[in-house]
Structure 1
Amino acid sequence: MTIQTTNWHDRAKSVTLPSRPFIDGAYVDARTNETFDCIFPGDGRLLVKVASCGQDDVDAAVKSGRAAFESGAWSRMPPIERKRILMRFSELILANRDELALLETLNVGKPIANSYNGDVPSAANCIAWYAEAIDKVYGEVAATSHDMTTLIVREPLGVVAAVVPWNYPLSMAAWKLGPALATGNSVVLKPAEQSPFTALKIAELAIEAGIPRGVLNVVPGLGHIAGKALGLHMDVDCVGFTGSTEVGGYFMQYSGQSNIKRIGLELGGKSPQVVLADCDDLDFAAQTIAAGIFGNSGQVCNAGSRLIVEDKIKDKLLEKIMAHATALTPGDPLSPETKLGSIVTEEQMMRVLGYIDAGRADGAKVVAGGRRVRSETGGFFIEPTVFDSVANNMRIAQEEIFGPVLSTITVRDFDEAMTVANDTIYGLAAGVWTGSVKNAHRAAKTIKAGVVWVNCFDRGLFSVPFGGFKQSGFGRDKSLHAMDKYSDLKAIWFAH
């Protein structure tokens, strides 16, 4: 069976939907009777009620993680053996590709082709990349006097809480699990309440791979209950969080109110796509800019949501982008032919539509899209939307919409483009489009963002760090730099 020949609707009728926390190596009943609804955003139907973990469940998960860590079963396992097990974990993720892709699409409404061809193999590759890194990261020997030898070694922190979002549930979990497990930590994973399925499934695969029980625990639950409990927990050593800037601020507070735990934050974005008049390929720019805001229905932290374009080429470029927007029609997430799926929840759909209304009210002009579609299905779909005549002080230009909405801001020259690009609280990513090497370098150095793409957008490798400046957070996911968040440096002095 292939993705094209599989009847995903039939598969969805028989797939097992995990709904209980995974603690100490097994699915267990939650210590609370509370649940939350998991809804399929493609048609609005209830899939299953999932256990909503509370303080007692979080305590049990952290206790299990701490016991596993202190036992040394994972934290002191020889690196070559930890590598072998994580490679097996990666292989099992790929071996369960069909089921994981289906669970991901049922949770968040993204096209099954994206889940199958993108999210699942990406997660497996991430785990494998960090597995390969385990026995290739070395300590240091410092330069000291002849009667001293000083070693600088890395040690795991202990228990790491990984709190991940709903837009790429499996991929974002892997971005945390890969480096945290590779460095020898135990992990308590809290998926977003909208998307617990794949997190719960891979916990079972981790045990099958040989990861000792207690090293990976999963607690589904609400952010203000389970997430807060992890943030305030006195026996959690680190929180790795991806999500909104608002919630990231809460975790900073929780750290100060508890044990000054390590915090790593990858937060919101309002990424500019700066197109200068000397751009020499407007067709490719338009295609890439459209993909950069409409992909995953705009539910991407680094989505290129602000088009900052010089007035000399604005009309020509905007016409090309609008053609891509109008050709991209939301469809059934379980159809292999669908390129654009749904918004994750009804609440998020209404939030995005509210921003579209706000843009109109502020005087911006909708030139493509702007409506809910496929409402007869019961699902949550919004067509790709393009605004023109946007001022950078408008809400749609300043606030993270997290939907398929592009705001076009016209500027006169390079200097104004740079001023507008940096006029935001965020600094996650940016795109620059120019045929001038000089302008490319000037722009890349001027824009305050953790990632700048020049004449491309949303490129990534696990060897390259990802993260933001300003209120887009701090610390890095991906690359060897991600391992810094989950380990501590120890200096050891030997006198002789």
Structure 2
Amino acid sequence: MTTLPEAKLFIDGELRGATGGATYDLTSPWTGETVGKAADATREDVEAAIAAARNAFDNTDWASDENRQNRFEIVKKYRALFEANRDRLAQLAVHEAGAAQGAVFRAHVNMALDGWDDYLAVFPRVEWEKDYGEKEAFGSIHKRIAVREAVGVVGAITPWNVPLYVNIGKVVAALLAGCTVILKPAPNTPGMGAIFGELANEAGIPKGVLNVVFGEDPALAGEMLVTDPRVDLISFTGSTGVGKRIMEQGAQTLKRVFLELGGKSAKIVLDDAPNFAMDVGMTMLVFHAGQGCAVQSRLLVPRSRYEEAKQILKGAYTQFGDNWGDPEHPQHIMGPVVSKRQMERVLSYIDIGKQEGATLLHGGSARPDKGGGWFIEPTVFVDVTNDMRIAQEEIFGPVLVVIPFEDDEDAIRIANESNYGLSGGVSSGDHDRAIRVAKRIRTGSVSVNNGMCIAGDIPFGGYKASGVGREWGVEGIEEYTELKMLAWPVRQAEPA
């Protein structure tokens, strides 16, 4: 049995255990057995991390304009150290997050490190100073410029589903912007946060600039970060419910918040899609057991081709069969869900779907024969209406719902009748038609004819209950900055 190294805290440049030495057990999603231990941070530990980050921002030159290139070089060296630890990252993805081997070197590791490279590539495009020209006022001509500055101390609170990807999305952008950071990973995946601390000193990150804290209590450290006035910005990825609480608690100190929250994204396959069977079949919700905020979990197909779509999906799921759930198989892309609690949540939604009158086309059961962990077979419901809970609420598991529509207007209506608006897709043989539909969907990103709408060099974020702000790309770095206007008189105005 694999045993992970103990995940340690990183506070003010020191890799260490929790005050008092407390630890908690990490459970493998594959086996349900203990796979390692992690330091269980106390209030004193979180307090020390906040104080270190505040001091490093206020009393060092980390955020200065003169240090900008040095920051870039440090973050670049940091990236090289992560490259040298690819095998360790893969091991963490498998044994903490439950990633299958075929998913490890996609979203979990490769896509994450590619995103880091994208941040380094777009960094020169950040506009640190903008000239607003001259304007007459009070008898003088005034020069106006805007300067971009680091926002300050950042609390980065990250989830368990693709932890390296989200950790990089926040930590790297904040460091490049000149912020100091307290990274708070999810209790299930502390090791993928701890490695940031393990490699920080070797990269040359100054004391206090980066701190990492985590604990068994999912709320303690996060609530301290959100309510502490010394923390200037909270960057959170996770559930909409927790995001609302962060916004409410952060309001007490008028804290800046970036929230990347849930999704119930719709893929619309129009009647003229030239690869109708492929577009329908490839929507199977199996990658990483459907545990992604931007997955397309509602499939919308024309009523005129609904029966055809059912048969396509039945064939696709049957062909997929039992080709999942083996932790050693290099081509498997689906493993367990992350925890017993998550398994129970997903199974409860499958029961709700049955009770609501949807038809279970495939799957729907736990699979204890796969191992001692938290396995649920790929599941698809048809005969779904958009007012059902399984069509409106984020399940975060391998459960796809299929909804018929009458025409383009009906498809747009169904897609938009959701509290969420994170991602989506449109497929059509008519490019202009697809673009017209895509532009009317109230969501942060839309894949048109399977275009790549999520990547590290372009902004990502949501509408409505899917969040506030943007991550990745130039905009993702700018999220961690403030704009300051400077103006001064340069000459007297000419008489009228």
TM-score class normalised by the smaller sequence: over 0.9
Q: Work out which of the residue numbers 269, 277, 282 in structure 1 matches 2:276.
A: 282
| 2:296 match: secondary structure | coil
Report the more deviating stretch, 278-287 or 266-275. 278-287
Does the aligned pair in 1 maintain the 2:25–2:38 contact within 8 Å?
Answer: yes
Does the aligned pair in 2 maintain the 1:18–1:201 contact within 8 Å?
Answer: no
Q: Displacement, 1:326?
A: 2.8
Instruction: State the partner residue of 1:72.
Output: 60
Q: Displacement, 1:483?
A: 2.0
Report the more deviating stretch, 237-246 or 408-417. 408-417
Amino acid at match of 2:305: I
Instruction: State the partner residue of 1:83.
Output: 72
Does the aligned pair in 1 maintain the 2:325–2:370 contact within 8 Å?
Answer: no
Q: Deviations over 1:93-127 (max 9, x none)?
A: 11100011101210011113422354223332323
Q: Distance in 2 between matches of 1:471 and 1:446?
A: 17
Does the aligned pair in 2 maintain the 1:32–1:52 contact within 8 Å?
Answer: no
Q: Distance in 2 between matches of 1:358 and 1:33?
A: 43
Instruction: State the partner residue of 1:169.
Output: 163
Q: Distance in 1 between matches of 2:294 and 2:106?
A: 20
| 1:388-403 → structure 2 map (5 Å cutoff) | 388-403=382-397
Instruction: State the partner residue of 1:295.
Output: 287
Instruction: State the partner residue of 1:57.
Output: 45
Seen in structure 2, the aligned counterparts of structure 1 residues 465 and 376 have a Cα distance that, compared at 3 Å, is closer
Q: Distance in 2 between matches of 1:388 and 1:72?
A: 59
Seen in structure 2, the aligned counterparts of structure 1 residues 488 and 370 have a Cα distance that, compared at 3 Å, is same
Does the aligned pair in 2 maintain the 1:248–1:267 contact within 8 Å?
Answer: yes
RMSD (Å) for aligned C-alpha atoms: 1.8
Q: Displacement, 1:32?
A: 5.6
Q: Distance in 2 between matches of 1:225 and 1:398?
A: 30
Instruction: State the partner residue of 2:99.
Output: 110
Amino acid at match of 2:37: K
1:307 correspondence with 2:296: no
1:140 correspondence with 2:144: no
Q: Displacement, 1:436?
A: 2.2
| 2:17 match: secondary structure | coil
Does the aligned pair in 2 maintain the 1:186–1:215 contact within 8 Å?
Answer: yes
Instruction: State the partner residue of 1:31.
Output: 19
Instruction: State the partner residue of 1:4.
Output: none
Q: Distance in 2 between matches of 1:61 and 1:334?
A: 38
Seen in structure 2, the aligned counterparts of structure 1 residues 134 and 376 have a Cα distance that, compared at 3 Å, is closer
Q: Which TM-score applies when normalising by structure 1?
A: 0.93
Q: Which TM-score applies when normalising by structure 2?
A: 0.93
Amino acid at match of 2:421: G
Q: Displacement, 1:376?
A: 5.8
Does the aligned pair in 2 maintain the 1:68–1:213 contact within 8 Å?
Answer: yes
| 1:361-380 → structure 2 map (5 Å cutoff) | 361-375=355-369, 377-380=371-374
| 1:204-243 → structure 2 map (5 Å cutoff) | 204-221=198-215, 222-243=217-238
Q: Displacement, 1:459?
A: 4.2
Q: Distance in 2 between matches of 1:245 and 1:32?
A: 34
Seen in structure 2, the aligned counterparts of structure 1 residues 439 and 135 have a Cα distance that, compared at 3 Å, is closer
Instruction: State the partner residue of 2:494.
Output: none
Q: Distance in 1 between matches of 2:6 and 2:144?
A: 49
Seen in structure 2, the aligned counterparts of structure 1 residues 305 and 276 have a Cα distance that, compared at 3 Å, is same
Amino acid at match of 2:352: A
| 1:467 match: secondary structure | coil
Amino acid at match of 1:251: I
Instruction: State the partner residue of 2:184.
Output: 190
| 1:306 match: secondary structure | strand
Amino acid at match of 1:442: R
Does the aligned pair in 1 maintain the 2:109–2:165 contact within 8 Å?
Answer: yes
Task: Identify unmatched segments of 5+ residues in structure 2.
Answer: 491-496
Q: Distance in 2 between matches of 1:287 and 1:82?
A: 46
Q: Displacement, 1:438?
A: 3.8
Q: Displacement, 1:457?
A: 6.1
Report the more deviating stretch, 203-212 or 226-235. 203-212
Q: Displacement, 1:378?
A: 0.6
Q: Distance in 1 between matches of 2:383 and 2:164?
A: 37
Task: Identify unmatched segments of 5+ residues in structure 1.
Answer: 1-8
